[in-house]
Amino acid sequence: MHTLITLKFNGARYHGFQVQKNALSVCEVLQDALERLYGTRPPVKGCSRTDAGVHAMGYCVSYTQPKPIAPRKLPLAVNRFLPDDIRVVSAREVPPGFHARYSAICKEYLYRIHNSPIADPFQNGLCWRYPAPLNAEKMARAAAYFVGTHDFASFQSVGGDIADTRRTVFFARVRREGEDISFHVCADGYLYNMVRIMMGTLVEAGAGRMEPERVPEVIRGRDRALAGDTAPAGGLFLWKVHYEKPDFCVPAQSGGE
């Protein structure tokens, strides 16, 4: 039975999802659990590469079960062998050719900032604490320019090896609730550190160091040096993966070109 499971995990102590030679990864821990459950170690396909320290609310993994377990029973069965910071929250049967990464239509990410000079002990490791004031309205104006199909080469970290850097962003929203600011974005794909660099650029706008209207210039420049710093990994969450076309997943109107 080919199966898709959805995970939540706190990535603070992991070096991303992908298996690493000399570091603990979410994939390694998951496969250890699956091996204990089935008595054999099935290969798995993750929906995305994630950096060290990045979290997930809806990370998807596909694999073929060595011994069929009903999807409704599978989460509890796997969770018995997982640490408290990783949990399988759902499972469903999928066609044999299904791939957690390549079958995805679009993915949502959420980035969280705690905009306060005082740390919140209940958000430690789950946000970027930014102590200086940020103007969320300016950040929202800047984020609107990400929407549409653009070449996002300016938002790819050095070391990214993707030749085609055009991506379509379906929405990019900034919201403030008290001292917390969130950036919620959905695209058909992402470059290396793309969301974190977007966030760093929005902070430049929110802090008054960049006018929101400069974002189209940054996009057109195709130069990493034009964008903001790469925001810390701890504030980033892979929020949701879509395998069926959602209503908002239509050709977006460009906000900046």
Q: Which residues are catalytic?
A: 51
Q: How far apart are CA 135 and CA 121, in angstroms?
A: 24
- Are 16 and 192 within 8 A, CB to CB? no
* Secondary structure class of 26 (helix, strand, coil): helix
CA angle 231, 234, 239 (to 5 degrees): 95
Phi, psi of 234 (to 5 degrees): -65, -15
Phi, psi of 177 (to 5 degrees): -130, 100
Computed from CA positions of residues 193, 196, 198, 203, in that sequence, does the dihedral angle turn out positive or negative?
negative
Up-side HSE of residue 143: CA atoms within 13 Å toward CB? Answer: 26
Phi, psi of 45 (to 5 degrees): -120, 115
Q: Which residue type occupies 187? A: A
* Secondary structure class of 40 (helix, strand, coil): coil
What is the four-CA torsion angle of 206, 208, 211, 212, rounded to 10 degrees?
10
* Secondary structure class of 39 (helix, strand, coil): coil
